[in-house]
Structure 1
Amino acid sequence: MATRHLYLARHGEADAFGELTDVGHRQTGLLGERLARLPVVAVWHSPLPRAAASARVIGEHLPDVPVVEAAELVDHVPYIPAATDMPPAWAGFFDGFDDAERASGERLAAALVDRFAKPAETETHEVLVTHAFQVAWLLRHALDAPPARWLGLNSGNTALTAIEYRDGLPPTVVLFNDMGHLPQDLRWTGFPPSALP
């Protein structure tokens, strides 16, 4: 088995209808420029329009690299902790989720991990354009943290998280939420106001 290098990115800034804003287009273009220096073999993206559009912009900077939809990257709540396992501030977020939604989210989260969070047969560099919850879930998994720990792991729009998977070793988190490709005026979108520096 060889190393799988996963580069996770939340989609660019989007409007209330899920379409990329001008800022989102600029963010994804700059991320594409950054990723163009790597031997990327595929850009996978969520089926949702904001992620698909982001992946297409990134793909413009990666000639001959396939840009492909992956259903496992769709935006969803991966795990709903028991009330005793979550901070009280999060309790209201999960109001209205029923057992069917809980089970569906857990199935999708398991499929995401099963497909991408493992070593590859050959050395590979893949980009996953997805959503904040999926970046948090894969990071939580790589750190072998309890399932509820995905909560509060916020990702900025087009912030880069890199994880390496090698056979016989735990995953290595190389980067989390790196915005080095973005100028100051394009950083920190997608975060709750309380997280801004």
Structure 2
Amino acid sequence: MATRHLYLARHGDADAFGELTPSGRHQAALLGERLAGVPVDALWHSPLPRAVASAHEIARHLSGVPVAEAAELVDHIPYVPEPDELPDAWAPFFDGMDAAEAAAGARTADALVARFARPAPRDADLHEVLVTHAYQIAWLVRHALDAPPARWLGLDSANAALTVIEHRPGLPPGVVMVNDMSHLPAELRWTGFRGVVRP
């Protein structure tokens, strides 16, 4: 087995219907330019349209890299905290979620970890780009850090930001960078978030 390098990216900015905005396409293109120097073996994306479009925009800059859907990358709630794990301010977020929905989210989160959060299943290093959603990036970062399950809450990802995790044989996962936006100009950073000052 060898090191698996995961390049995690949230889709570009999307409209209320889940389609990429012009800003979102620009963000994805800039991320593709940044990743052009990486020896990418595969680009995986969520089945949702905003991730599909982002992946194909990124792929324009990655010559010959196969692009495919991974159902495990779909947007979902990976873990519903117990009442004693949940700050009062976040409690309304989970109102209306029933046990079946929570169980389905947990199964998808487990499948995501089982598929991607392990060393490369081959002798050579593996470099994969995963175009997904904020919650899935938070879940994979939480898993890499071996943090409590509820800790996925509060780990935000900006549109087209880059998070890198390395899964190495015989070693704990390495979180190389989180939510890096250095490839984006200031006006394209933090789209989709409330209007506060960001560095």
Range of TM-score over shorter length: over 0.9
- Normalising by structure 1, what TM-score? 0.98
Structure 2 residue 83 is matched with structure 1 residue 83: yes
- Give 4+ residue runs of structure 1 displaced > 4 Å after superposition: none
- Contact kept in structure 2, 1:155 and 1:191, CA below 8 Å: no
Percent same amino acid among aligned pairs? 69
Q: Structure 1 regions of 5+ residues with no counterpart?
A: none
Structure 2 residue 185 is matched with structure 1 residue 180: no
Aligned-pair Cα RMSD in Å: 1.0
Cα deviation code 1:32-54 (max 9, x no counterpart): 00000100011000000000000
CA distance in 2, matches of 1:13, 1:78: 22
Residue identity opposite 1:187 in structure 2: R
User: What residue number does 1:3 align with?
Assistant: 3
User: What residue number does 2:58 align with?
Assistant: 58
- Contact kept in structure 2, 1:32 and 1:61, CA below 8 Å: yes
C-alpha displacement at 1:193, in angstroms? Answer: 3.5
User: What residue number does 2:107 align with?
Assistant: 107
Residue identity opposite 2:26 in structure 1: R
Q: Structure 2 regions of 5+ residues with no counterpart?
A: none
CA distance in 1, matches of 2:197, 2:6: 25
Residue identity opposite 2:92 in structure 1: G
User: What residue number does 2:154 align with?
Assistant: 152
C-alpha displacement at 1:196, in angstroms? Answer: 3.8
Distance of aligned partners of 1:109 and 1:103 in 2 relative to their CA distance in 1, 3 Å threshold? same
Distance of aligned partners of 1:116 and 1:142 in 2 relative to their CA distance in 1, 3 Å threshold? same
CA distance in 1, matches of 2:104, 2:194: 26
- Contact kept in structure 2, 1:10 and 1:130, CA below 8 Å: yes
Distance of aligned partners of 1:64 and 1:109 in 2 relative to their CA distance in 1, 3 Å threshold? same
Structure 2 residue 25 is matched with structure 1 residue 48: no
Cα deviation code 1:14-60 (max 9, x no counterpart): 00001100100000000000000100011000000000000000000
CA distance in 1, matches of 2:168, 2:63: 27
